[in-house]
Amino acid sequence: MKVLVLNCGSSSIKYQFIDTTTQIALAKGMVERIGMSSAVLTHTPYGKEKIRIVGEILDHTIAIEYVIAVLLSPNHGVIKNKKEIDAVGHRVVHGGETFSGSVLITDQVMNAIKENIELAPLHNPPNIKGILAAKEHLPNTPQVGVFDTAFHVKMPPRAYLYGIPYELYRKYKIRRYGFHGTSHRYVSERAAKLIGKPIEELKIITAHLGNGCSMAAVEGGKSIDTTMGFTPLEGLIMGTRSGDIDPSVILYIMAKEGLSLSEANTLLNKHSGLIGISGESSDMREIEEAVKEGNKKAKNAFDVFNYRIKKYIGAYTAAMNGLDALVFTGGIGENSVMVRKEVCSNMEYLGIILDDNRNENVEGECLISSDDSKVKVFRIPTNEELVIALDTEKIVSEQLSQV
Ligand code: ADP
């Protein structure tokens, strides 16, 4: 099956056109600056050069029209007819408590996604726009929603309830949801494959470290806890986000600096984390460079980042009463030799021993722990788009077989 995978943000759309049989992305690209007269579409057909088109793309409907047009283009396209798009798979950020798996998008599902707008005011509205736009251009093509929150939604109440009055959970659905679920699911499944045991028998910690960072405790193939919470702000230190913080600090800063709610929100989401501590950069590559040059603030940021991950490894090993594998993924997890080394240092007690040579020479999915490490440590590149394409294929095939 050939699936168009769409990840729609407020001013950008990332897409991949994936053949689920070969698992190859026949084309991938991105539309940026939607809403502006100088929007940019970059498109790379499999095995060919990237092309760049600049034009006026005022909304998501026009953006998707462009995406379909470039897929059909005689020079840069990969299909001859729109009908070759068998299905569309959408990344949807927040499924609330409604969705514990991917679903065929129906009117009822659209209403449920709309009901969750309050929980993800920045993300669900562009996801909805993308679905409506794809429906407009491909009215007879099945569409599937794959939710960032779905993998975590069945974690136990002890992991998702906050220590606040229970009525507030009932009234406003304030609980831990967790995000990056598609990535945590994918890399934990890949780790089980690499180990050669059924995932049902394994205890795995997955660390998705990108611009946003989160970890999950995956026991028997199920997420039983994760670091991001009600929003993607909780947990690990991230490029620009604070992660865990004493809630009183926020009230204190607001009072001292006279900040409004929205200013406090910006402070915690955009000016904190690596950029906040280092004053240098939110980008781990630049932090590492600064650390090597002896920059003390960058070293603080680097240390706080790694230490937080270490603490969660300890916490999740306790939560699962053991650990079989630790997986690093995401831009930092896949590429930073230094972060993996720091996080895994002095962890022998927990059974984690890194092999420096393996850690420094990674390629594709690979083991980076030593042969005598009780816990297997892996570097596994994530592939959320492939998961979305495969989920879409599965749901559409099931649907067709019922007809
Ligand atoms: P997003 O969460 O937006 O998808 P990515 O997963 O691409 O982001 O991760 C971006 C992060 O990965 C940045 O902090 C970047 O510095 C980091 N990164 C990418 N390559 C390297 C590298 N070689 N060494 C260290 N960090 C890297």
Residue bearing tokens 């996801």: 127
Pocket-testing residue among 28, 284, 339, 384, ligand 1, by greatest number of atoms within 8 A of Cβ: 284
Bridge-based pairing state of the strands 24-32 and 13-19: antiparallel
Residue 334, pLDDT above cutoff 80: yes
CB atoms within 10 A of CB 8: 28
pLDDT tier, 120 (very low <50, low <70, confident <90, very high otherwise): confident
Instruction: For residues 315 and 312, give the distance between their C-alpha atoms in angstroms, rounded to a whole number.
Output: 5
Distance 306 CA to ligand 1 centre (A): 15
Contact 380, 368 (CB under 8 A): no
pLDDT tier, 401 (very low <50, low <70, confident <90, very high otherwise): confident
Ligand 1 nearest atom to the CA of residue 339, by list position: 25
Contacts of 227 (CB under 8 A, 6+ apart): 178, 213, 214, 215, 216, 234, 235, 236, 243, 244, 312
Catalytic residue among 59, 86, 107, 148: 148
Distance 331 CA to ligand 1 centre (A): 3
Q: What is the pLDDT of residue 306?
A: 98
pLDDT tens sequence across 356-365? 999 999 999 9
Residue 148 is among the residues annotated as catalytic for this protein: yes
Q: Is 17 helix (H, G, I), strand (E, B) or coil?
A: strand
Check residue 354 and report its DSSP letter.
B
Return the closest-CA partner of residue 385 out of 1, 2, 7.
Answer: 7
Residue 399, pLDDT above cutoff 90: no
Distance 330 CA to ligand 1 centre (A): 7
Distance 18 CA to ligand 1 centre (A): 24
Compute the average pLDDT of residues 103-114: 95
pLDDT tens sequence across 1-18? 999 999 999 899 999 999
Ligand 1 nearest atom to the CA of residue 282, by list position: 14
Pocket-testing residue among 93, 285, 360, 385, ligand 1, by greatest number of atoms within 8 A of Cβ: 285
Q: What is the pLDDT of residue 123?
A: 87
Provide the whole-model pTM.
0.95
Residue 207 bridge partners (DSSP): 215, 328
Instruction: For residues 237 and 311, give the distance between their C-alpha atoms in angstroms, rounded to a whole number.
Output: 12
Amino acid at 109: V
Q: Is 355 in the pocket of ligand 1 (CB under 6 A)?
A: no
pLDDT tens sequence across 341-352? 999 999 999 999
Q: Output the CA–CA distances (angstroms, integers) from residue 119 to 111, 123, 162, 175, 231, in the order listed.
A: 14, 9, 16, 11, 8
Q: What is the pLDDT of residue 139?
A: 96
Bridge-based pairing state of the strands 376-379 and 325-329: parallel
Residue bearing tokens 């007690």: 349
Taken as a whole, the chain contains a residue count of 403
Instruction: For residues 61 and 177, give the distance between their C-alpha atoms in angstroms, rounded to a whole number.
Output: 30
Q: Is 330 in the pocket of ligand 1 (CB under 6 A)?
A: yes
Instruction: For residues 49 and 319, give the distance between their C-alpha atoms in angstroms, rounded to a whole number.
Output: 48
Contact 71, 27 (CB under 8 A): yes
Q: Is 211 in the pocket of ligand 1 (CB under 6 A)?
A: yes
- Per the structure block, which two tokens stand in for 184? 């945590």
For the chain, give the percent of residues with pLDDT over 70. Answer: 100
If residue 341 lies in a helix (H) or strand (E), which one and from where to where?
helix 337-344
**Beta strands of 261-400 (E only): which ranges?**
325-329, 366-367, 376-379
Distance 320 CA to ligand 1 centre (A): 29
Ligand 1 nearest atom to the CA of residue 212, by list position: 2
The torsion region of residue 272 among left (phi > 0), alpha (psi -120 to 50) and beta comes to beta
What's the distance, Cα to Cα, between the start and end of the chain in Å? 18
Instruction: For residues 190 and 387, give the distance between their C-alpha atoms in angstroms, rounded to a whole number.
Output: 11
Q: What is the pLDDT of residue 76?
A: 94
pLDDT tens sequence across 290-332? 999 999 999 999 999 999 999 999 999 999 999 999 999 999 9
Q: What is the distance of C-alpha 380 from the center of its chain?
A: 14
Helix residue spans in 210-295 (DSSP H):
247-257, 261-270, 273-278, 284-292
Residue bearing tokens 């690093």: 328
Compute the average pLDDT of residues 29-54: 95
Residue 127, pLDDT above cutoff 80: yes
Q: Which long-range contacts (CB under 8 A, 24 or more apart) does 185-188 make?
A: 185/151, 185/223, 185/387, 186/382, 186/383, 186/384, 186/386, 186/387, 187/327, 187/329, 187/378, 187/380, 187/382, 188/216, 188/218, 188/221, 188/327
Q: What is the pLDDT of residue 30?
A: 97
